Amino acid sequence: MERRKNLYLLTGSNLGNREDFLLEAYFAIATRVGSVVKVSALYQTQPWGISNQPDFLNQALLVKSNLSPFTVLDTIKQIEKTMGRTEILRWGERIIDIDILFYGNLILESPTLTIPHPRLHERNFVLAPLAEIAPNFKHPVFGKTVAMLLSESPDALKAVKL
């Protein structure tokens, strides 16, 4: 049997009842992806990329999973679709967004999936909740901890812990 991997995910929502959507995503992840071991607080963040939309709520999760990275990707895309996500505009408003941040220390680049998430080190809305649950986790490409990446982040947008 394959060893369960530490999988770090980020959930986000900026439409409707954001807290309920994040909770629904949490339960779907726990049911379909693996055991949720740690969960950050909720963080309210200004939208990144397109500013004229509602603020996001974001949350980081540590999940122990036996699924392959590509199966995780397929599963979270199915969860998003089931919850009503439609891809209208990149960086636009959404009911739910689930991103793979890290999959153990795996470094993977493919046409459909890049791990670690290629821009996580530039975004406070990712780094702040992730630093809460994994401050000492080392980015396998940069060799810096999540806490270090947050302290060095070039992002001017604040992530406010609720």
Interacting residues of 125 by C-beta distance below 8 A, sequence separation 6+ = 10, 12, 43, 45, 48, 56, 58, 155, 157, 159
Choose, from 18, 94, 123, 155, the residue flagged as catalytic.
Answer: 94
Sign of the dihedral through C-alpha 70, 76, 80, 81:
positive
Choose, from 18, 85, 123, 155, the residue flagged as catalytic.
Answer: 85
Choose, from 4, 32, 74, 99, the residue flagged as catalytic.
Answer: 99
Is residue 147 classed exposed, middle or buried when 0-12, 13-18 and 19+ CB atoms within 10 A define those classes?
middle
Question: Does 32 participate in catalysis according to the annotation?
Answer: no
Phi, psi of 114 (to 5 degrees): -125, 125
Question: Does 74 participate in catalysis according to the annotation?
Answer: no
Interacting residues of 114 by C-beta distance below 8 A, sequence separation 6+ = 108
Question: Does 20 participate in catalysis according to the annotation?
Answer: no
Question: Does 94 participate in catalysis according to the annotation?
Answer: yes
Choose, from 18, 97, 123, 155, the residue flagged as catalytic.
Answer: 97
Write out the catalytic residue numbers: 85, 94, 97, 99
